[in-house]
């Protein structure tokens, strides 16, 4: 049987590899997406004091340490049955919103943008951030860099460090912000709102204004009807830092909304022996393998998912963008009643809407009268036991679950990490891409690459989180081998 | 006979002649380490158990790649031909490191260091490792002992690779000396030094020098009068041009290091101007206030509120006892002031602080007596006619409260029968384990004095009779001949509960006569408790103040109990008399003189070499975390605020290395026992297994197979 | 043979069958107490098992936990730390610091899976040769009962068959790679890089 | 950044070649490099970047075909967690003149090095039997797994996590988790200068982008002599005096033993230093040093009193070897090598 190995350059890092098997007729028999790395946080966090977890679990992922820092701090609060002062929560959420601004900006311009702005068929050499800047103008590049820089500055102001923040502890924060810092953060927030709107403008002009792109977004190859997951506030508006987890069926039915602590009633993780990464799925629906539809427990947790589960956005400008999003892509509601977008490429658009929300929310928080209050810590009085902490990481719902002894030393740990949620959908997208492009053993090389990488990129996969090893984004390389397994051609490009 | 029948070839190199390849003569190449190894037979002391020939052979071959150029074994390395082996090899083979495997460094380290130095190599590039005390003498299994010798040698070789040349540290010696304690030991020390022409500060906390000896009447075994022999010494101490006498004073703080100490002395207010006072004593006569004299008269007599402790006191200048002075209590009286012809009374006098610079310190702070109240069954403090030895000294003293009449508490009745109990508080697990050394003789003296003064019957209750020094046992014989009765046994109790005829109104000593082998009840009129000696209550603070160490009892610890009994671990601080343990007068005096001799030696040297085992801070690596600041009991570490780093005064550093181990930044280096040296020695010691073969080691487990081919190609 | 009969009955040493495990133990001694106690044991010909190899430090306060971990990592089955009795330190109070470090270190190695009996603290004054010998015998037997520790060899940098200098030449690099560390790199000892 | 032209010859042939390679890592190091912001352009100008997977193109096959030593500098972040990363590190060593251990994972194992407290079996068993895992048959990853269509290969999980210098010879180390961006630029600049002859080449074994002292050196808090009679855990008190040394306030701060260079960021926000910059210059075992320092200033004399104080540190091995276990003298807990579990 012939075998095609799509082998990321990051193979060097032992990160992710795709094996496509063809049947004797040269049709795709199966495609496997392997995550060949594990670090074992669930094991070695046992024995550590719970107050260390927010900094220890930072190291799960250097791309989104803020998410782990927050989920961990919330789990630690729960372990001690302590409710941090309002200001502490505001500070955490403010840091977290700033992080969303940087993260979503980076992804859209450096990673997702090239596909649309430069064009999916442009030569790989141009399909990168520089290509984008060439198209939209250098000054935008300056703004992109500024957006990242400013975001990291806010993170450092509140978290102490630009990467791997240090200030969230059980019961609150170790330190607050001054009025000067608050003012600066507010300024950055307002700047970010404009930047987000500007970015949406680019998307409008370059993408929605281009029928070919629109067609591609709506095309079947990039459509999966799966369940969706995301955090919502009491009004079912999306929220990144806090709230209840809501599940939406592919048919627009709200399957349920649960408190994070109940996650085990809803989610289980399936195990395959050929990969180090587990496949989460909806327990109530069950694991049916890598297939979509209402009968398969496969779900997805992305910006798109969060919009799909939410009734709307909690800030005015984002709400407007939200409505426009659905008016454009899903004019009529599903049978279940909620309007849903199943087109995966729309995730890029959804991400920009979240960017706008994050920026607006930053300003809300930075202008809250209590944000500079010195009251940022509640000292725990109860015996530590068990606790769950959940936040929305940019790449999906993130849950930390700790059990401790009476000294607050961990006895067990469970981590359900953002990107992991989308492992199954990603594998599905890959298979779908392969199937649509490989016939009779004939491979449309460049196309295959583009399709696969685009399928990937929209999930903004961060396997640093998932396997506690896969950093950042994932470049791809396709090795095509003849039946003897020899490499006859190598194609490679970056996503 | 040497081990395994090998006959060592006298003198000549036996094995491991210059490693081939290595130059046989001449200077080593830059950075090249050339080690000479010398294994000593010590006759059969080592060779009898350790196969020294094999050890030398092994070292010559197995340790060649560790820089061993030559390995020899020789019958007695410490002999001059043995030392010549080393000096010749250094010259002929260009050795730059020496390892001698022989006896303990405490015996011959200097011997071999000096030999090394004679050949022009820095002495600290020589290591002596012990394969005798730590090996041949304590093991019987020859194979195991030989294996251990190889390990020890290997450790020495690795260590010596890391040795660095060291130079002794030189400090100047200030010729002035501080003597603390004005008892007989301190007085002796002070006079010895003063007579030699150097200045002495003699500090005494009481109003007069003289110490306990001044309270005694007669001294054993010669029975000459304590006052008669002590007073002249006190006077010359008080008048000596080279002695600054500081009574009614205490040392509160000491800084610095050998040769360069600074001491702060608190001179308590006497309320009398010493420069004007003639010591006529009229003030005491006129003082209306009588006070029980707890110190000098042991509570048996009275003194005035302004007083000189005793007639022969030096200085004569009295002190006002502020607590009991009517003027200080009520603001009126001033009798002393009225009658003082030289107007020396100064009610407004204040305590003053004096700072002095000295080069050496002698501590002669003496002892306290055991508190007899602690042994309730002997009834002291409860039964009026139970006395302590010190009280008896006062009773029998012609200058004492009873003018030498030995009477009961009522002050009139002479005892008909007296019991003297030895070892009170000494040789007793419940109190002090040690023997107080002087009680036997003092008890015999008491027996004699009772006989002499009253003719009463005297019982001495003893456990063992210890009369070890010159003429002591003769005195014992004499007292026996005088008719004193000796009962061997430790009295269980002293009670006044008489129940047999003849016991009423008496004190009954309940004792098991271990010679007669029966219980006895002996009625007496007076019991004298021969209480033991113990360290002063403030002994531990004193030790800390002067940077010396003391045992858990509180006695100061000598640098070496036999070989250096008057020196301490702290350079420049010496001890004399009972501060280091109970002693009789002759020993105390001898120690005072000995300490003085040590100090005079130092003064004559003018300069002194200190062992270069010192710690030092690398300022570049020091973060100023100040962890080390509390590590040094000698206050050698100080924090330089401006530079934000800690630093160490090399002369004050005693080289213990505690700060080196404490520094989290690894910024403190210790010479002589550096991290590198110790870690290397550990490696060396562990290169050899228990059986003499290389220690077997496994590797950390690794993934079973290399990654599959396509992973590599792609 | 030593000229006189042993003063004490020989302990286990020698009597055990050849098959028994012979632990290798590193003992740290203080120059003023325990090392002198060892000398005294020797002078008195007090016999004890040959399994302990002594290192002399000036004071138990010099004991850097690094030394203990080094000994374990170099294959020692146990480590014995000894010094003056509390309150009798020749440097006044340094053995208390040794005691504290010992207590903390012992907790740490326990959580690394090393039995606490493999790290023992023994107080012995200069006069207690017999006591020291007895303690050495006791520790030896305790460790013998525990069996070998046998920590694996660390710091073996395996650079395959790569000839780096050849690699340098091949690319016109000046031979030898980066300049050596100041004072000269000592290949056989990591600690050489210190200061 | 533009993708690489062919790795041999071409306009770039004269530029020194730079490779940036992440082994088992979190990606924070890469983000830190990106965060040198405008300087990234200087780097692009100074070097021909032949490999930086997380940011730009590069072909593994190009590396394979390079001559030994052709790459001037390779920065390796991440630890040696699978046989594959070990193998590839060796390959890059062969191809590189200078091998740089970049960041805590590569230089000392970092937090993931704590995995060395457990056996490989324990780690994998735990990961695949968590409370939310649906795994009735106890399935575990298989290095060579048979699927209907053929064999799938997974890199083998190493029994003991290793640092870069335990696998290949390392020329320089840049510490930190992650290294602070300003320090990264400082270090690269030094090398650039050396390469174009305007500066000295740092001696082999040097630590770049950090100081020779410890964090206290950069910490603004006031320090006095240390006397600790109680260790507090951060959640036990409402806050700390912002002026005074955290350790003196009882919080176990690793600053005294941790190499400086970060700017003492954590203590500045009342969080203890957790030690991510590793041991100070010349220190062999970070944990041993810190243990010794803490214990030295504990105010207690009897074993009981001492234990009472030490109970304030509930997790000694975590406290003292949080980042540095994998390159400590012992490298691992006993179970990591004693019962490999297979």
What is residue D128's three-state secondary structure? Answer: coil
Do residue B439 and residue B490 come from a single domain?
yes
Query: What's chain B's average pLDDT?
Result: 91
Q: Is residue B480 part of a domain?
A: yes
Band the pLDDT of B566: cuts 50, 70, 90: very high
- DSSP secondary structure code for residue D236 in this structure: G
Q: What CATH number is given for D11-112+159-195 in this structure?
A: 3.40.50.700
Q: Is residue B98 part of a domain?
A: yes
Give the D window 244-283 contacts with A, CB below 8 Å: 265-266, 268-271, 274, 276
Q: Would you say A354 and A100 are in contact if contact means Cβ atoms under 8 Å apart?
A: yes
Higher pLDDT, B611 or B419: B419
Q: Which of C13, C91, C133 sits opposite B654 (nearest CB)?
A: C91
A274 to chain B, any CB pair closer than 8 A? The answer is no
In DSSP terms, A396 is beta-bridged to A393
Q: Is residue B688 part of a domain?
A: no
Q: Which residue of D has its CA nearest to A158?
A: D269
Q: Tell which of B710, B712, B713 to mutate to test the A interface (max A CBs under 10 Å).
A: B710
What is the DSSP annotation of B121-174? S-GGGEEEEESIIIIITT---HHHHHHHHHHHHHHHHHHHHH------EEEE--
Q: Would you say A304 and A341 are in contact if contact means Cβ atoms under 8 Å apart?
A: yes
B106 to chain C, any CB pair closer than 8 A? The answer is yes
CATH superfamily of the domain spanning C25-146:
Lumazine/riboflavin synthase (3.40.50.960)
Q: For strands A396-404 and A386-393, give the pairing.
A: antiparallel
Q: Per the structure block, which two tokens stand in for B286? A: 């006129």
Instruction: Check pLDDT > 80 for residue B629.
Output: yes
- Cβ within 8 Å of residue B701, ≥6 positions away: C152, D159, D160, D337, D340
Find the DSSP H helices in B551-640.
Answer: 585-605
Contact C108 D117 (CB under 8 A): no
Cα dihedral B687, B693, B698, B704 in deg (nearest 10): 130
d(C-alpha A86, C-alpha A172), whole Å: 9
d(C-alpha C130, C-alpha C7), whole Å: 10
Instruction: Check pLDDT > 80 for residue C118.
Output: yes
In DSSP terms, B200 is beta-bridged to B177, B243
d(C-alpha A323, C-alpha A316), whole Å: 11
**Lowest mean pLDDT across B192-206, B303-317, B535-549, C111-125:** B535-549
Instruction: Check pLDDT > 60 for residue A255.
Output: yes
Looking at residue A152, its pLDDT comes to 92
Q: List pLDDT tens digits, range B115-166.
A: 999 999 999 999 999 999 999 999 999 999 999 999 999 999 999 999 999 9
Q: List pLDDT tens digits, range C51-105.
A: 999 999 999 999 999 999 999 999 999 999 999 888 778 888 899 999 999 999 9
Q: Per the structure block, which two tokens stand in for D279? A: 């041991």
D318 to chain A, any CB pair closer than 8 A? The answer is yes
Tell me what the mean pLDDT of segment B23-40 comes to: 73
Q: Which residue of A has its CA nearest to B707?
A: A14
- Cβ within 8 Å of residue D51, ≥6 positions away: A9, A12, D19, D20, D21, D58, D62, D63, D71, D74
Distance from CA of B265 to the nearest CA of D (A): 27
Instruction: Check pLDDT > 60 for residue A488.
Output: no
The full set of domain ranges for chain C reads 25-146, 164-193
Instruction: Check pLDDT > 60 for residue C166.
Output: no
> In terms of Cα–Cα distance, which of B83, B99, B189, B194 is closest to B149?
B99
Q: Is residue B600 part of a domain?
A: yes
D232 to chain A, any CB pair closer than 8 A? The answer is no
> In terms of Cα–Cα distance, which of B640, B637, B645, B643 is closest to B621?
B645
Q: List pLDDT tens digits, range A423-474.
A: 898 888 888 877 877 777 676 655 666 667 677 777 766 543 433 222 233 3
Distance from CA of B569 to the nearest CA of D (A): 22
Contact A62 D31 (CB under 8 A): yes
What is residue C30's three-state secondary structure? Answer: strand
10 Å Cβ neighbour count for B323?
9
Q: Is residue B690 part of a domain?
A: no
Looking at residue B344, its pLDDT comes to 94
Phi, psi at residue D113, to the nearest 5°? -65, -20
Q: Per the structure block, which two tokens stand in for A140? A: 């935008």
Looking at residue A450, its pLDDT comes to 66
Q: Per the structure block, which two tokens stand in for D163? A: 């640092």
Q: List pLDDT tens digits, range D2-60.
A: 333 333 334 444 788 999 888 888 888 988 888 887 777 788 788 888 877 665 545 56
Q: Would you say A311 and A236 are in contact if contact means Cβ atoms under 8 Å apart?
A: yes
Contact D206 C181 (CB under 8 A): yes
Looking at residue B705, its pLDDT comes to 52
In DSSP terms, B609 is beta-bridged to B170
d(C-alpha B364, C-alpha B372), whole Å: 24
Q: List pLDDT tens digits, range A97-113.
A: 999 999 898 888 877 76
Tell me what the mean pLDDT of segment B592-618 comes to: 94
> In terms of Cα–Cα distance, which of C105, C9, A362, B293 is closest to D287?
C105
Looking at residue A223, its pLDDT comes to 87
Band the pLDDT of B580: cuts 50, 70, 90: very high
Looking at residue D61, its pLDDT comes to 64
Residue B250 CA: distances (Å) to CA of B359, B542, D22: 18, 11, 70
Contact B133 C41 (CB under 8 A): yes
Residue C91 with chain B: CB contacts under 8 Å: 549, 569, 633, 654, 656, 658
Query: What's chain A's average pLDDT?
Result: 85
- Count up the domains in chain B and report the number: 5
Q: List pLDDT tens digits, range A346-379.
A: 998 999 999 999 999 999 999 999 999 999 999 9
The full set of domain ranges for chain D reads 11-112+159-195, 125-158, 215-311
Q: Per the structure block, which two tokens stand in for B43? A: 């006759």
Q: Residue B599 sits in a domain of what CATH number?
A: 3.50.50.60
What are the residue ranges in chain D where pLDDT is below 50? Answer: 1-13, 57, 340-342
Q: Tell which of D221, D280, D330 to mutate to test the B interface (max B CBs under 10 Å).
A: D280
Q: Which domain holds residue B529?
A: 372-534
Do residue B27 and residue B100 come from a single domain?
yes
Band the pLDDT of B51: cuts 50, 70, 90: very high
Residue B150 CA: distances (Å) to CA of A144, B55, B62, B691, D115: 69, 6, 10, 10, 39
Q: Tell which of D48, D88, D158, D284 to mutate to test the C interface (max C CBs under 10 Å).
A: D284
Residue C57 with chain B: CB contacts under 8 Å: 657, 673, 678
Contact B702 D84 (CB under 8 A): no
Q: Per the structure block, which two tokens stand in for D283? A: 């220190």
Instruction: Check pLDDT > 50 for residue B9.
Output: no
Q: Is residue B503 part of a domain?
A: yes
Question: What would you report as the CA-atom Rg of chain C, rounded to the nearest whole angstrom?
Answer: 21
Q: Which residue of D has its CA nearest to C112?
A: D333
Instruction: Check pLDDT > 80 for residue B371.
Output: yes
b/e per residue, B543-565, with b = 16+ CB within 10 A? bebbbbbbbeebbbbbbeeeeeb
Q: Would you say C160 and D94 are in contact if contact means Cβ atoms under 8 Å apart?
A: yes
Looking at residue D2, its pLDDT comes to 37
Q: Which of D32, D154, D155 sits opposite A274 (nearest CB)?
A: D154
Tell me what the mean pLDDT of segment B507-530 comes to: 95
> In terms of Cα–Cα distance, which of D163, D83, D94, D93 is closest to B706?
D83
d(C-alpha B515, C-alpha B490), whole Å: 12
Tell me what the mean pLDDT of segment B398-423 comes to: 93
Percentage of chain B lying above the pLDDT 90 cut: 82
pTM: predicted TM-score of the whole model, two decimal places: 0.82
What is residue B254's three-state secondary structure? Answer: strand
Q: List pLDDT tens digits, range A157-178.
A: 999 999 999 999 999 999 999 9
What is the DSSP annotation of D242-271? TTB-TGGGT----GGGBBS-S-SHHHHTT-
What's the gap between Cα B593 and its chain centre? Answer: 16
B641 to chain A, any CB pair closer than 8 A? The answer is no
Q: Residue B665 sits in a domain of what CATH number?
A: 3.30.70.20
Residue where one domain finishes, among candidates B148, B166, B184 = B166
Domains delineated in chain A = 3-38+440-493 (no CATH), 83-221+343-378 (1.10.645.10), 224-342 (no CATH)
């Amino acid at each position: 049987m012939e075998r095609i190995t799509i082998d990321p350059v990051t193979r060097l890092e032992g990160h992710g590899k795709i094996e496509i098997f063809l049947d004797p007729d040269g049709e795709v028999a199966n495609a496997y997406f392997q995550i060949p790395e594990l670090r074992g946080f669930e094991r070695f966090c046992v024995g550590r004091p719970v107050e260390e977890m927010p900094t220890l679990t930072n190291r799960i992922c250097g791309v989104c340490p803020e998410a782990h820092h927050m989920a961990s701090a919330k789990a630690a609060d729960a372990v001690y049955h302590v409710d941090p002062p309002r200001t502490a929560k505001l500070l955490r959420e403010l840091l977290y919103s700033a992080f969303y601004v940087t993260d979503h900006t980076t992804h859209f311009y450096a990673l997702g943008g090239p596909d649309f702005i430069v064009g999916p068929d442009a030569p790989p050499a141009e399909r990168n951030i520089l290509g984008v800047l060439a198209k939209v103008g250098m000054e935008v590049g300056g703004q992109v860099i500024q957006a990242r820089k400013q975001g990291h500055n806010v993170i450092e102001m509140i978290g102490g460090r630009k990467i791997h923040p240090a200030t969230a502890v059980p019961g609150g924060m170790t330190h607050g912000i001054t009025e000067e810092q608050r003012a600066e953060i507010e300024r950055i927030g307002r700047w970010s709102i404009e930047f987000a709107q500007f970015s949406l403008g680019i998307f409008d002009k370059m993408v929605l204004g281009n029928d070919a792109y629109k067609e591609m977004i709506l095309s079947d190859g990039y459509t999966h009807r799966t369940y969706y997951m995301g955090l919502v506030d009491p009004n079912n508006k999306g929220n990144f830092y806090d709230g209840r987890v809501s599940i939406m069926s592919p048919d627009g039915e709200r399957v349920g909304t649960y408190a994070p602590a109940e996650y085990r009633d809803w989610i289980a993780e399936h195990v395959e022996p050929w990969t180090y990464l587990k496949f989460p799925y909806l327990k109530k629906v069950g694991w049916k393998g890598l297939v979509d539809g209402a009968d398969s427990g496969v779900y997805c947790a992305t910006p798109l998912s969060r919009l799909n589960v939410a009734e709307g956005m909690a800030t005015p400008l984002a709400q407007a963008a939200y409505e426009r999003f659905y008016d454009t892509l899903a004019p009529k509601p599903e049978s279940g009643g909620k309007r849903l977008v199943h087109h995966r490429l729309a995730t890029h658009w959804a991400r920009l809407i979240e960017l706008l929300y994050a920026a607006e929310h930053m300003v809300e928080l930075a202008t809250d009268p209590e944000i500079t209050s010195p009251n940022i810590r509640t000292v725990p009085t109860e015996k530590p036991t068990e606790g769950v902490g959940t936040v929305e990481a940019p790449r999906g719902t993130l849950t930390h679950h700790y059990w401790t002894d009476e000294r607050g030393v961990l006895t067990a740990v469970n981590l359900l990490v953002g990107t992991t949620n989308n492992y199954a959908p990603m594998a599905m997208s890959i298979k779908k891409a392969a199937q649509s492009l490989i016939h009779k053993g004939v491979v449309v090389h460049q196309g295959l690459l583009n399709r696969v990488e685009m399928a990937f990129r929209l999930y903004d996969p961060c396997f640093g989180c998932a396997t506690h090893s896969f950093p950042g984004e994932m470049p791809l390389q396709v090795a095509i081998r003849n039946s003897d397994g020899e490499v006859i051609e190598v194609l490679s490009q970056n996503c | 006979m040497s081990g395994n029948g090998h006959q060592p070839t006298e003198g000549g190199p036996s094995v491991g002649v210059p490693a081939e390849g290595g130059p046989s003569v001449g200077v080593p190449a830059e950075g090249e380490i050339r080690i000479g190894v010398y294994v000593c037979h010590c006759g059969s002391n080592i060779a009898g158990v350790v196969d020294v020939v094999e050890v030398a052979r092994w070292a010559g071959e197995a340790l060649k790649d560790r820089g061993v150029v030559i390995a020899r074994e020789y019958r007695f390395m410490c002999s001059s031909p043995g030392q010549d082996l080393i000096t010749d090899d250094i010259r002929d083979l260009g050795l730059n490191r020496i390892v001698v495997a022989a006896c303990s460094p405490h015996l011959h380290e200097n011997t071999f260091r000096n030999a090394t130095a004679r050949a022009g190599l820095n002495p600290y590039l020589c290591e002596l490792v012990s394969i005798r005390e730590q090996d041949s003498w304590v093991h019987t299994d020859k194979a195991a002992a030989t294996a251990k010798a190889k390990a020890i040698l290997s450790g020495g070789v690795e260590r010596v690779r890391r040795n660095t040349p060291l130079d002794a540290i030189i400090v100047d010696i200030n010729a002035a000396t501080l003597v603390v304690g004005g008892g007989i030991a301190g007085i002796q020390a002070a006079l010895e030094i003063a007579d030699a022409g150097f200045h002495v500060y003699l500090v005494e906390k009481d109003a007069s020098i003289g110490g306990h000896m001044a309270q005694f009447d007669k001294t054993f075994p010669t029975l000459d009068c304590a006052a008669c022999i002590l007073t002249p010494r006190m006077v010359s101490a008080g008048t000596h041009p080279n002695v600054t006498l500081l009574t009614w004073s205490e040392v509160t703080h000491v800084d610095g290091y050998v040769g360069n100490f600074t001491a702060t002395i608190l001179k308590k207010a006497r309320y009398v101007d010493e420069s004007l006072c003639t010591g006529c004593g009229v003030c005491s006569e006129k003082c209306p206030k009588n006070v029980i004299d707890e110190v000098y008269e042991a509570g048996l007599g009275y003194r005035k509120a302004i007083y000189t402790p005793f007639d022969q006191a030096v200085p004569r200048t009295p002190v006002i006892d502020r607590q009991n002075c009517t003027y200080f209590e009520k603001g009126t009286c001033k009798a002393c002031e009225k009658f003082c012809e030289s107007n020396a009374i100064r009610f407004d006098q204040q305590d003053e602080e004096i700072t002095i610079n000295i080069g050496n310190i002698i501590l002669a702070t003496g002892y306290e007596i055991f508190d007899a109240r602690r042994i309730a069954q002997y009834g002291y403090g409860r039964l009026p006619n139970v006395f302590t030895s010190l009280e008896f000294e006062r009773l029998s003293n012609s200058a004492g409260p009873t003018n030498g009449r030995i009477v009961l508490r009522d002050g009139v009745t002479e005892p008909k029968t007296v019991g003297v109990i030895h070892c009170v508080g000494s040789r007793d697990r419940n109190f002090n384990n040690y023997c107080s050394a002087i009680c036997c003789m003092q008890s015999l003296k008491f027996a004699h004095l009772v006989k002499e003064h009253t003719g009463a019957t005297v019982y001495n209750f003893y456990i063992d009779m210890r009369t070890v020094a010159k003429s002591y046992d003769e005195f014992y014989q004499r007292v026996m001949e005088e008719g004193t009765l000796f009962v061997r046994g430790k009295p269980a109790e002293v009670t006044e509960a008489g129940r047999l005829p003849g016991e009423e109104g008496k004190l009954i000593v309940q004792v098991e006569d271990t010679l007669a082998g029966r219980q006895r009840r002996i009625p007496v009129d007076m019991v004298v408790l021969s209480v033991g000696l113990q360290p002063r209550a403030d002994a531990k603070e004193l030790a800390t103040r002067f940077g010396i160490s003391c045992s858990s009892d509180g006695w100061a610890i000598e640098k070496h109990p036999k070989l250096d009994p008057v020196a301490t671990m702290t350079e420049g601080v010496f001890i004399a008399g009972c501060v280091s343990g109970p002693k009789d007068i002759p020993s105390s005096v001898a120690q005072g003189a000995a300490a003085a001799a040590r100090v005079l030696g130092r003064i004559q040297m003018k300069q002194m070499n200190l062992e270069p085992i010192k710690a030092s801070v690398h300022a570049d690596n020091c973060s100023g975390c100040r962890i080390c600041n509390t590590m040094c009991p000698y206050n050698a570490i100080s924090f330089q605020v401006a530079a934000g780093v800690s630093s160490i005064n090399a002369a004050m550093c005693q080289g213990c290395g505690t700060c080196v181990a404490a520094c989290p930044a690894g910024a403190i280096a210790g010479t002589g026992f550096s991290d590198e040296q110790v870690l290397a020695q550990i490696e060396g010691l562990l290169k050899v297994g228990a059986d003499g073969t290389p220690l077997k080691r496994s590797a950390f487990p690794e993934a079973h197979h290399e990654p599959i081919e396509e992973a590599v190609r792609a | 043979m030593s000229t006189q009969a042993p003063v004490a009955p020989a302990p286990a040493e020698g009597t055990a069958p050849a098959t028994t495990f012979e632990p290798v133990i590193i003992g740290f001694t203080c120059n003023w107490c325990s090392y002198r106690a060892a000398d005294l044991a020797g002078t008195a010909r007090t016999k004890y098992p040959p399994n302990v190899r002594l290192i002399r430090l000036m004071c138990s306060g010099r004991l850097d936990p690094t030394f203990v971990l080094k000994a374990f990592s170099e294959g020692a089955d146990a480590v014995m730390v000894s010094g003056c009795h509390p309150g009798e330190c020749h440097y006044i109070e340094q053995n208390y610091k040794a005691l504290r470090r010992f207590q903390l270190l012992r907790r740490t190695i326990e959580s690394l899976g090393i039995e606490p009996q493999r790290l023992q603290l023994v107080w012995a004054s200069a006069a207690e040769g017999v006591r020291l010998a007895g303690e050495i015998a006791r520790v030896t037997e305790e460790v013998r009962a525990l069996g070998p520790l046998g920590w694996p060899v660390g710091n073996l940098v395996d650079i395959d068959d790569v000839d780096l200098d050849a690699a340098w030449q091949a690319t016109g690099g000046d031979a030898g790679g980066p300049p050596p560390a100041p004072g000269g790199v000592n290949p056989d000892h990591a600690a050489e890089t210190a200061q | 950044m533009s993708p690489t032209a062919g790795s041999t010859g071409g306009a770039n042939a004269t530029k020194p070649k730079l490779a940036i390679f992440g082994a088992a890592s979190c990606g924070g190091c890469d983000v830190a490099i990106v965060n040198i912001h405008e300087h990234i352009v200087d780097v692009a100008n100074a070097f021909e970047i032949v490999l930086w997977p997380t940011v730009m193109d590069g072909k593994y096959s190009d590396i394979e075909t390079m001559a030994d030593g052709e790459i001037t500098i390779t920065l390796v972040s991440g630890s040696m967690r699978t046989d594959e990363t070990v193998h590839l590190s060796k390959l890059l060593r062969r191809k590189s003149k200078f091998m740089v251990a970049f960041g805590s994972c590569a230089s000392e194992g970092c937090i993931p090095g704590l995995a060395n407290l457990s056996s490989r079996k324990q780690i994998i068993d735990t990961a695949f039997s968590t409370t939310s895992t649906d795994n009735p048959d106890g399935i575990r990853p298989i290095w060579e797994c048979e699927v209907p269509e053929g064999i799938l290969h997974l890199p083998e999980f190493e029994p003991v996590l290793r640092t870069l210098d335990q696998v290949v010879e390392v020329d320089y180390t840049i510490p930190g988790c992650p290294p602070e961006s300003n320090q990264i630029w400082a270090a690269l600049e030094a090398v650039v200068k050396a390469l174009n002859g305007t500066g000295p080449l740092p001696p082999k074994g040097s630590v770049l982008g950090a100081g020779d002292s410890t964090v206290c050196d950069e910490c603004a808090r006031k320090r006095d002599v240390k006397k600790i009679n109680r260790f507090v855990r951060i959640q036990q008190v409402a806050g700390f005096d912002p002026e005074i040394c955290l350790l003196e306030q009882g919080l176990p701060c690793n600053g005294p033993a941790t190499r400086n260079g970060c700017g003492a960021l954590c203590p500045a926000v009342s969080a203890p230093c957790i030690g991510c910059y590793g041991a100070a210059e010349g220190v062999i075992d970070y944990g041993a040093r810190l243990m010794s320092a803490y214990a030295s200033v504990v105010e207690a004399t009897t074993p009981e009193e001492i234990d009472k104080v030490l109970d304030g540190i509930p997790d000694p091995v975590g406290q003292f070897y949080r980042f540095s276990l994998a390159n400590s003298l012992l490298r691992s807990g006993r179970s990591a090598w004693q019962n490999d579990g297979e």
